[in-house]
Structure 1
Amino acid sequence: MKVLVTGATGFIGGFVVRQLREARIDVRIASRHPEQLGAGGDAARLPEPDAPAEHFLTLMKDITHVVHCAALNNDQTSATDADFRAANVALTERLAHAAAIRTSGRFIYLSSIRAVIGADFRGTIDERTVPAPQCAYGRSKREGEIMALEAYASSGRADATALRLPPVYGAGMKGNLATLMRLADTALPLPAAAFSGVRSLIAREAAAGAVLHLLTSPVPLRPVYFASDLPAIPITTIIEALRRGFGRPLRLLPIPAALMRRAASLLGKGKAWDRMTATQICDPSLLMSEGWTPEADTTGRLTEMARLAKLGQAQPL
């Protein structure tokens, strides 16, 4: 078995490579920045979305499975709709077509809950939830899912899947979780009502473990899976866990939610309030029914992540 991993210098892709190698699986790394991969190993430059088809076919030589982690993520605030489509749709389509032709194994596309729901959605989602992305990033990830599945279906194959992830945490994370972590590393008192939503998260290690499980499971692939830590936890609990790790006082003020909501509306921040307080829960029951075990100590891992960050240690969780 040999696995091609794209986006191998990224936040999740690097950890996928690490877990595959620990499982003694041969890996080829594809990255837009192969110079960052160091000497040794099987590494290649990831073709641009408009590269000739031969470049993608050559990349698949001797490959059994593909894990496609490379993406333009929603922390890129200056990215346009065209940027998201090129990175997340066109590139995925080219890779999946080449893989469907040249490889004999599985295609795992790392997707996001934003391919299904917007930031203000409230409720629980699973594989039966009808996708309704609300942003350019989410739409591009949903289109990427479709392209991967259709590329395999057009070759008469059903061994491609999209693995949808909630926010992923770990050393070096970006986006809203990184902002929340910076906020936790202050002595500022925070209104608990502003962080009352319950959220699913997933440890980077658990996300990589889900990929490994999907590559090696004897069960035929379903088109879509959700993975997440269990249980989902309140945002206030996330802040508390991080502040424990930083050695900061909790300082969560019991200001009534109705009062905070009115104040946010008066300041024109009603939608931002709705996003902050929304409960968004992923149900990974399908993946669990096929033998995957989720991370169960989210708060402990968040506390340890903050403790290591305070000490200036960069080892990943």
Structure 2
Amino acid sequence: MKVLVTGATGFIGRQVVHRLREAGVGLRLASRRPERLDAGSDAMPMPGFDAPAAAFLALTRDVTDIVHCAGLNNDQGNATEADFRAANAQLSARLAHAAATQASGRFIHLSSIRAVIGARASATIDENTVPEPQDAYGRSKREAEIAVLDAYASHGRADAAILRLPPVYGIGMKGNLATLMRLADTALPIPTGALTANRSLLSSQSAARAVWHLLCHSQPLHPVYTASDVPPVSVAAIIGAFSRGFGRPTRLVPMPAGPMRAAAILLGKRPFWDSLTATQICDPSLLASQGWAPESSTLERLTEIARLRKSRLPV
């Protein structure tokens, strides 16, 4: 077994590489920044979406399986719809077509729940959720999912799978979770009456374990899987966990949602506020039924991340 990991220097890609190395798997690593990879690795630059077909064939030659982590994340505030489509959908399509022609094993494509639901909507998400992406990032991820599965189907193959992830936490995380962690490291009160929405999260280590599980378990692949920690946790509890890690008292204030929402609108932060107050619960039952064990100590892990961050901050 030799696995190609794209996006190998990224937030999740690094964890996938670490997990596969622990398993003793041969690796080829692809990154837009190959200079960041270990010297002596079988490493290649990640082709752009418009690279010649030969570049994708060279990348997938002599590997058995592919884990596709590379892509443009939604924390890139200046990215356009065309940028997301090129980096996520078109790149994934070209990689999948090359892999389907010459890689004998499985293709695991890391996607996001944004492919099926917007950040401001409340819902329970599983493999049967009807896709309704609400922004450029979500649309590009959904298009990428379709492209990967279609590429393998066009070669008469059913050994590609989509792994949809909720917000992923770990050292180096970005986005709303990083914002909440910064908030927790202040003396600001936490309005618990407004932040009771439950959210499913996933640790970066659990994401990597899910990838390894899908690569090596003996059952046929389903087209789509959803991963998450269990149980979901409230936004107030997330901030509280970070506060404990920073050694700060958790200042819980029973403030109703109405005034907080009005203040967010006045400050031009309504999208962020709506995303904080939406309940989004992922159901990982399908993946768990095939032997994957979800993380169940989410708040303890968040506390440890904040503790580690505090220890690394300059005095």
User: TM-score normalised by the shorter chain: which range applies?
Assistant: over 0.9
1:148 paired residue number:
148
Taking structure 1 as the reference length, the TM-score comes to 0.96
1:206 paired residue number:
206
1:243 paired residue number:
243
**In the TM superposition, what is the alpha-carbon distance from 1:256 to its structure 2 partner?**
2.1
**In the TM superposition, what is the alpha-carbon distance from 1:62 to its structure 2 partner?**
1.1
1:233 paired residue number:
233
Q: Are positions 1:286 and 2:277 aligned together?
A: no
**In the TM superposition, what is the alpha-carbon distance from 1:221 to its structure 2 partner?**
0.5
**In the TM superposition, what is the alpha-carbon distance from 1:267 to its structure 2 partner?**
6.4
Give the CA RMSD over aligned residues: 1.4
Question: Residues 6-25 of structure 1 correspond to what in structure 2 (within 5 A)?
Answer: 6-25=6-25
Which region of structure 1 is more displaced relative to structure 2, 55-64 or 101-110? 55-64
> 1:194, 1:273 within 8 Å by CA — same for their partners in 2?
no
1:84 paired residue number:
84
Q: 1:26 to 1:268 in 2, by over 3 A?
A: closer
Q: Tell me how far apart the structure 2 counterparts of residues 297 and 116 of structure 1 sit (CA, whole Å).
A: 26
Percent of aligned pairs with the same amino acid:
66
Count of residues paired in the alignment: 313
Q: Are positions 1:298 and 2:295 aligned together?
A: no
Tell me the SS of whatever aligns to 1:193.
coil
Q: Tell me how far apart the structure 2 counterparts of residues 284 and 172 of structure 1 sit (CA, whole Å).
A: 24
**In the TM superposition, what is the alpha-carbon distance from 1:119 to its structure 2 partner?**
1.1
Question: Residues 40-119 of structure 1 correspond to what in structure 2 (within 5 A)?
Answer: 40-119=40-119
Q: Deviations over 1:80-126 (max 9, x none)?
A: 01110110011101100000001111000000000010011112110
> 1:193, 1:260 within 8 Å by CA — same for their partners in 2?
no
2:121 paired residue number:
121
Q: What amino acid does structure 2 have at the position aligned with 1:308?
A: L
Taking structure 2 as the reference length, the TM-score comes to 0.96
Q: Tell me how far apart the structure 1 counterparts of residues 8 and 278 of structure 2 sit (CA, whole Å).
A: 32
Tell me the SS of whatever aligns to 2:194.
helix
Q: What amino acid does structure 2 have at the position aligned with 1:39?
A: A
**In the TM superposition, what is the alpha-carbon distance from 1:258 to its structure 2 partner?**
3.8
Q: Are positions 1:163 and 2:163 aligned together?
A: yes
Q: 1:255 to 1:216 in 2, by over 3 A?
A: same
Q: Tell me how far apart the structure 1 counterparts of residues 172 and 269 of structure 2 sit (CA, whole Å).
A: 29
1:219 paired residue number:
219
Q: What amino acid does structure 1 have at the position aligned with 2:156?
A: G
**In the TM superposition, what is the alpha-carbon distance from 1:227 to its structure 2 partner?**
0.2
Q: Can you give the 5+ residue segments of structure 1 that lack an aligned partner in the other structure?
A: none
Q: Can you give the 5+ residue segments of structure 2 that lack an aligned partner in the other structure?
A: none
**In the TM superposition, what is the alpha-carbon distance from 1:261 to its structure 2 partner?**
4.0
**In the TM superposition, what is the alpha-carbon distance from 1:152 to its structure 2 partner?**
0.1
Q: Tell me how far apart the structure 1 counterparts of residues 6 and 215 of structure 2 sit (CA, whole Å).
A: 15
> 2:190, 2:236 within 8 Å by CA — same for their partners in 1?
no
> 2:116, 2:138 within 8 Å by CA — same for their partners in 1?
yes
